[in-house]
């Protein structure tokens, strides 16, 4: 919200005094307090009713210990005291202070993308084969799946998987698992269409020739059609990998700490949104450019081979 005021999109922001004081005095953002601070209030920590007495006791004991041993005052001084150190919010300063955290976020992004694509590829192959099968029921299943997954916005699907599914099934699900499921279900629909398109791109006479030689539909598909179709599909598969990698940024909305969420966390501490988003954008561009080069190289080899 501070960046919205600095950008001129809002005229003021409302926030707790310690947070504002840290941003203005500790990080030096170009804002000022327009009103006097309100009298102190209270915060509460909520736990499940009648089931977390031990946890509640641990929280109360911990808070009491923080006050009695001086840690509470140390925290205040670190963030609001005269000795509080401001972060280096320049472009290179942010990289120098946060490069390890940024690389961890990038690594998690790539890992989640790989896991999602592997699952999506397996599911997409089945759906794609369903869509070109002579069996009308399988065609219908493929059509329904693709229409639903392509019709539901990714952010809505993420919310459904992360919030609704655990409630409906009475299970717990981490943001990482929910994120991988979301991306897998979404990407599988597009990979299924890529698979269907690749098979359709093979001359229909290839199937007819195989069947005329006495081969079964499945054997003709496995031995004649698919080897040709895969050569056609590989560039599109890599393109879908790139799209899925970028889609991971949406998963920050469910708390998954990938590259975009890592940037948000750093911004929450430094208030340097301009330079931080530039760094995040450049990291995405570098990775995607490398993948694009790989795709073009593979495409060239396949054409020449």
DSSP 86-103: PP--SHHHHHHHHHHHHH
161: in domain: yes
pTM equals 0.75
86: in domain: no
Number of domains in the chain: 2
Predicted confidence at residue 84, as pLDDT, reads 53
Same domain assignment for residues 17 and 110: no
User: Cα dihedral sign for 243, 245, 249, 253?
Assistant: positive
Same domain assignment for residues 267 and 209: yes
Picking from 33, 60, 80, the residue at the C-terminal end of a domain is 80
Predicted confidence at residue 304, as pLDDT, reads 67
Same domain assignment for residues 175 and 55: no
pLDDT < 70: residue spans in the chain: 1-4, 7, 26-27, 39-40, 78-87, 302-305
Dump pLDDT digits (tens) for 68-123. 888 888 877 766 565 556 667 788 999 998 999 999 999 999 999 999 999 999 99
Same domain assignment for residues 21 and 64: yes
Same domain assignment for residues 131 and 195: yes
CB-hemisphere CA count at 13 Å for 63? 8
134: in domain: yes
Residues belonging to the chain: 305
Predicted confidence at residue 190, as pLDDT, reads 95
Predicted confidence at residue 228, as pLDDT, reads 80
Same domain assignment for residues 72 and 98: no
Same domain assignment for residues 75 and 163: no
Picking from 45, 80, 115, the residue at the C-terminal end of a domain is 80
Domain that holds residue 31: 2-80
**How many angstroms separate the CA atoms of 232 and 237, rounded?**
10
274: in domain: yes
CA 275, 281, 286: angle at the middle one, nearest 5? 125
**How many angstroms separate the CA atoms of 247 and 190, rounded?**
13
Longest CA–CA separation in the chain, Å:
88
Checking 25-30 for CB contacts under 8 A at 24+ apart, the result is 25/80, 25/84, 26/79, 26/80, 26/84, 26/85, 26/86, 27/86, 27/87, 27/89, 27/270, 27/271, 27/272, 28/86, 29/2, 29/271, 30/6
**How many angstroms separate the CA atoms of 71 and 236, rounded?**
56
Same domain assignment for residues 125 and 257: yes
Predicted confidence at residue 207, as pLDDT, reads 76
Same domain assignment for residues 185 and 59: no
85: in domain: no
CATH number at 280 reads 1.10.3720.10
Predicted confidence at residue 40, as pLDDT, reads 67
Same domain assignment for residues 166 and 289: yes
Predicted confidence at residue 141, as pLDDT, reads 93
**Beta-carbon contacts of residue 58 (< 8 Å; ≥ 6 apart):** none
Predicted confidence at residue 89, as pLDDT, reads 78
Predicted confidence at residue 305, as pLDDT, reads 59
**Beta-carbon contacts of residue 121 (< 8 Å; ≥ 6 apart):** 188, 191, 237
Predicted confidence at residue 132, as pLDDT, reads 84
Same domain assignment for residues 107 and 207: yes
Picking from 49, 80, 111, the residue at the C-terminal end of a domain is 80
């Amino acid at each position: 919200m501070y960046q919205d005021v600095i950008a001129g999109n809002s005229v003021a922001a409302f926030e707790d005094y310690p947070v504002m004081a840290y941003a203005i005095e500790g990080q030096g953002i170009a804002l000022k307090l327009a009103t006097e601070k309100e009298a102190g209030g209270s915060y509460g920590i909520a736990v499940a009713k009648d089931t977390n007495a031990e946890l509640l006791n641990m929280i109360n004991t911990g808070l009491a210990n923080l006050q009695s041993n001086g840690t509470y005052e140390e925290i205040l001084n670190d963030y609001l005291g005269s000795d509080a150190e401001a972060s280096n919010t320049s472009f290179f300063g942010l990289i120098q202070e946060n490069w390890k955290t940024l690389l961890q976020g990038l690594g998690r992004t790539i890992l989640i993308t790989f896991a999602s694509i592997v699952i999506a590829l397996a599911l997409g192959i089945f759906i794609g084969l369903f869509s070109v099968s002579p069996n009308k029921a399988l065609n219908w299943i493929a059509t329904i799946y693709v229409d639903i997954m392509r019709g539901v916005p990714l952010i809505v699907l993420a919310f459904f998987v992360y919030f609704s599914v655990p409630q409906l099934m009475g299970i717990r699900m981490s943001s990482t698992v929910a994120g991988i499921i979301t991306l897998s279900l979404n990407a599988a629909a597009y990979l299924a269409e890529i698979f269907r398109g690749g098979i359709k791109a093979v001359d229909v006479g290839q199937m007819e020739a195989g069947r005329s030689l006495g081969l079964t539909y499945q054997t003709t598909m496995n031995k004649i059609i698919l080897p040709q179709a895969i050569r056609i599909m590989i560039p599109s598969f890599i393109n879908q990998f790139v799209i899925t990698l970028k889609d991971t940024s949406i998963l920050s909305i469910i708390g998954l700490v990938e590259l975009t969420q890592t940037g948000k966390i750093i911004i929450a501490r430094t208030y340097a949104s301009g330079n931080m988003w530039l760094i995040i954008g450049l990291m995405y561009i570098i990775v995607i450019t490398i993948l694009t080069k790989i795709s073009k190289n593979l495409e060239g080899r396949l054409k020449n081979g």
